[in-house]
């Protein structure tokens, strides 16, 4: 099985190395035959030199340039990096099936046996959420197997001395000399430290997000309140978070914002914007849709002194004359203690009383 995956370069290198090893062993046996004529030593030397030549020739065979020879060797293509190992997390995620359907993945997708065992353990879990995720992963594998442009190969290679699944994936990638497809951030970092190339689905998704520059205008739907004062939070169709200033009052509304900055992190992208109520077309439309308030009713009434409005000179003179007239009408009914009473007035009092009694 493994011999079928060996390239033609390595086969030619191994053959050349074995021939050179046999030639070297024959020359050394001629020298040793004069010293010790025992055939056992000569056979052992022949086998040892042939094995060493085979191993060294196979490792150095990738340096050969068969295309320069032409003929049947001109069409030789290197099968290096054509195998891709799938991680458990990327199988459960499910986006790998959509990417494979578009034709961006080619070659052979390798599914290790220990990854299948881990998926089976997750599918048989007592937790309903984990059980659904495990069954989803198995369904994704069946979906990938039915694709005609891809070949799914299940390998039995295992590493008993390695306990962690992530390290087993790295060791298997070293054996196959291929890439690991995953969306695990920690596995991505550890694989890079070991010199193994990784295809990260999350990085691919981030690279496909639309580019937004500061100063551009975009329309978003405010979902909830932000952490800071007077902030609103919105999300784009690809899941990008948008933090909008001055949008706390616009929750559950679609508004136009101006992008102020874009923050790119390893976990994704965040967009910061600002909402300007003066230039918002949606708010203007809502303002026109509302019925106009009726003007305040006007009542014709005389000007009062308690009114806060400033009075004209004519109104002030009219009010002064009315106040004077009211004071003149009240004066006969009031006593004037400061005016002296004359004798004639006192003498007239009994006559007036008599007239009233009669």
Any idea what the CATH number is for the domain that residue 259 is in? 2.40.50
The pLDDT score that the predictor gives to residue 341 is 44
Beta bridge partners of 182: 200
Cβ 242 vs Cβ 273: under 8 Å: yes
**Is residue 355 a part of any domain in this protein?**
no
Are residue 200 and residue 100 in the same domain, yes or no? yes
Are residue 202 and residue 221 in the same domain, yes or no? no
Q: Pick from 226, 256, 258, 251: which is nearest to 241 by CA?
A: 226
Are residue 178 and residue 280 in the same domain, yes or no? no
**Is residue 109 a part of any domain in this protein?**
yes
Residue 159: CB atoms within 10 A of its CB come to 16
What mean pLDDT do residues 339-344 have? 45
pLDDT tens digits, 213-232 = 888 888 999 999 888 888 99
Of the residues 73, 101, 129, the one at which a domain ends:
73
Are residue 116 and residue 158 in the same domain, yes or no? yes
Report helix angle 165-176 to 113-123, nearest 10.
150
pLDDT tens digits, 128-160 = 898 999 899 999 999 998 888 888 888 888 888
Are residue 68 and residue 136 in the same domain, yes or no? no
Cβ 137 vs Cβ 147: under 8 Å: no
Which percentage of the chain shows pLDDT scores above 70?
Answer: 69
Whole-Å CA distances, 93 to 37, 125, 146, 261: 68, 18, 18, 30
Give the separation between CA 67 and CA 70, rounded to whole angstroms: 6
Number of domains in the chain: 3
Instruction: Say yes or no to pLDDT of 6 above 60.
Output: yes
**Is residue 197 a part of any domain in this protein?**
yes
The whole model's pTM is what? 0.49
What mean pLDDT do residues 308-326 have? 55
**Is residue 200 a part of any domain in this protein?**
yes
Are residue 120 and residue 190 in the same domain, yes or no? yes
Range of the domain at 35: 8-73
What mean pLDDT do residues 102-124 have? 88
The pLDDT score that the predictor gives to residue 244 is 93
Q: Give the list of residues 6+ apart from residue 55 with CB closer than 8 angstroms, or none.
A: 14, 17
CA angle 145, 180, 3 (to 5 degrees): 70
Are residue 164 and residue 260 in the same domain, yes or no? no
Are residue 201 and residue 237 in the same domain, yes or no? no
Of the residues 269, 289, 309, the one at which a domain ends:
289
Q: Pick from 165, 187, 161: which is nearest to 111 by CA?
A: 165
The pLDDT score that the predictor gives to residue 181 is 92
The pLDDT score that the predictor gives to residue 149 is 81
Instruction: Say yes or no to pLDDT of 355 above 60.
Output: no
Are residue 87 and residue 195 in the same domain, yes or no? yes
What mean pLDDT do residues 311-340 have? 52
| Residue of 4 and 269 predicted with greater confidence | 269
**Is residue 342 a part of any domain in this protein?**
no
Are residue 188 and residue 125 in the same domain, yes or no? yes
The pLDDT score that the predictor gives to residue 56 is 83
Are residue 89 and residue 156 in the same domain, yes or no? yes
Of the residues 20, 43, 73, the one at which a domain ends:
73
Instruction: Say yes or no to pLDDT of 117 above 60.
Output: yes
- Where residue 185 sits, what CATH number does that domain have? 3.40.50.1010
Are residue 120 and residue 196 in the same domain, yes or no? yes
Cβ 243 vs Cβ 271: under 8 Å: yes
pLDDT tens digits, 237-270 = 877 889 999 888 889 989 999 999 988 776 678 8
**Is residue 317 a part of any domain in this protein?**
no
**Is residue 295 a part of any domain in this protein?**
no
Cα dihedral value 315, 317, 323, 329, nearest 10: -120
**Is residue 97 a part of any domain in this protein?**
yes
């Amino acid at each position: 099985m493994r011999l079928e995956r060996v390239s033609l370069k390595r086969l030619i290198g191994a053959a050349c190395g074995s021939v050179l090893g046999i030639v070297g062993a024959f020359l050394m046996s001629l020298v040793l035959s004069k010293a010790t004529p025992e055939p056992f030593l000569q056979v052992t030397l022949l086998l040892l030199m042939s094995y060493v030549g085979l191993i060294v020739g196979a490792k150095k065979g990738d340096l050969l340039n068969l295309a320069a020879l032409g003929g049947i060797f001109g069409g030789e293509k290197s099968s290096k990096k054509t195998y891709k190992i799938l991680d458990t997390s990327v199988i459960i995620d499910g986006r790998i099936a959509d990417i494979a359907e578009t034709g961006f993945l080619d070659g052979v997708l390798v599914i290790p046996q220990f990854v299948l065992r881990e998926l089976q353990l997750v599918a048989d879990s007592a937790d309903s959420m984990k059980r659904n995720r495990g069954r989803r992963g198995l369904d994704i594998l069946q979906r990938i197997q039915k694709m005609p442009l891809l070949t799914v190969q299940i390998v039995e290679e295992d590493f008993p001395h390695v306990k962690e699944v992530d390290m087993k994936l790295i060791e298997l990638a070293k054996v196959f000399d291929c890439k690991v497809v995953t969306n695990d951030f920690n596995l991505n970092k550890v694989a890079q430290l070991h010199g193994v190339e990784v295809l990260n689905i999350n990085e691919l998704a981030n690279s496909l997000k639309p580019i937004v520059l500061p100063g551009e205008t975009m329309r978003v739907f405010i979902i909830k309140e932000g952490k800071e004062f007077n902030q609103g939070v919105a999300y784009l169709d690809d899941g990008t978070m948008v933090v909008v200033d001055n949008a706390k009052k616009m929750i559950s509304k679609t508004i136009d914002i101006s992008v102020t900055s874009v923050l790119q992190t390893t976990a994704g992208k965040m967009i910061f914007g600002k909402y300007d109520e003066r230039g918002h077309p949606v708010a203007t439309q809502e303002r026109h849709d509302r019925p106009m308030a009726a003007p305040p009713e006007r009542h014709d009434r005389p000007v009062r002194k308690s009114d806060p409005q400033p009075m004209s000179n004519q109104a002030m003179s009219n009010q002064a004359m009315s106040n004077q007239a009211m004071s003149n009408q009240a004066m006969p009914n009031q006593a004037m203690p400061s005016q002296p009473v004359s004798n004639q007035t006192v003498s007239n009092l009994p006559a007036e009383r008599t007239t009233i009694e009669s």
